[in-house]
Amino acid sequence: MLDIEEIKDKLAGFQPQPLKQEFDRHAAVTMLLRIKDQRTEVLLIRRAEHDQDPWSGDLGFPGGRIEDQDSNPRAAAERETWEEIGCQLNEKNYLGQSTELTGAYLSVHISCYIYQIDNDTQFKLNGEVVDLFWVPLQTLLDPLRNQQLTFFYRGKDRCHPAIKLDEWSERPLWGITYRLLDNFLNLFDISFTYPERR
């Protein structure tokens, strides 16, 4: 299941199509990968609960809004990752960029940059992140974990595909991060399996 050399080869030759429309904001995130016990794992964070944050308490990737001091979206993703979890990223562990994404409900453009980091990397969480954990990509693809769940979000009940990760989090994986991971897997002709796709 997706060894790191396959990922490197695919990303080395992949250039995402730029988004043409205008957005209220542009954010950048990092998808951090590692190899453990011959399996590729991805790092997920849990955001702190905050009334002003549309992703309050959700599972996600490190990252955030691009600021004026950032030279480009990738620099913003690296800065945010350092600020949120104390992980320093650089050209040496950079693998490439995944498909650009737009928010389903918010006018936001998200860029996603992928890195491989060492198993012994130490993290230091700031107040925006309350937890982090590693999940094997194979676990995310388990059909029994992939479900359609109903959420109360932005004033109404909405039904979304999601992944139950009860061993790690009371919150499921859904929304933008789910879509970012699905886009990444699509590069390898792999997709999440939820009931409507079976």
pLDDT at 54: 55
d(CA 196, CA 172): 18
pLDDT in tens, 122-144: 999 998 899 999 999 999 999 99
**In this structure, are strands 25-36 and 39-47 parallel, antiparallel, or unpaired?**
antiparallel
d(CA 19, CA 91): 24
> What is the per-residue burial (b if ≥16 Cβ within 10 Å, else e) of 115-143?
bbbeeeeebeeeebbeebebbebebbbee
* In the predicted structure, residue 198 carries a pLDDT above the cut 50: no
Beta strands in 53-195 (DSSP E): 59-60, 63-65, 94-97, 101-102, 108-116, 129-136, 146-153, 156-163
Question: What superfamily in CATH does domain 4-139+172-188 come from?
Answer: Nucleoside Triphosphate Pyrophosphohydrolase (3.90.79.10)
| 145-172: average pLDDT | 85
Residue 154: pLDDT above 70?
no
Confidence at residue 171, expressed as pLDDT on a 0 to 100 scale: 86
Domain ranges of the chain: 4-139+172-188
User: In whole angstroms, what is the distance from residue 44 CA to residue 101 CA?
Assistant: 18
Task: State the pLDDT at residue 100.
Answer: 85
The tokens of 76 are what? 């913003």
Q: pTM score, two decimals?
A: 0.90
The pLDDT tens digits of the residues spanning 13-56 come to 898 877 776 666 788 999 999 999 999 999 999 988 766 655 56
> Amino acid identity of 98?
S
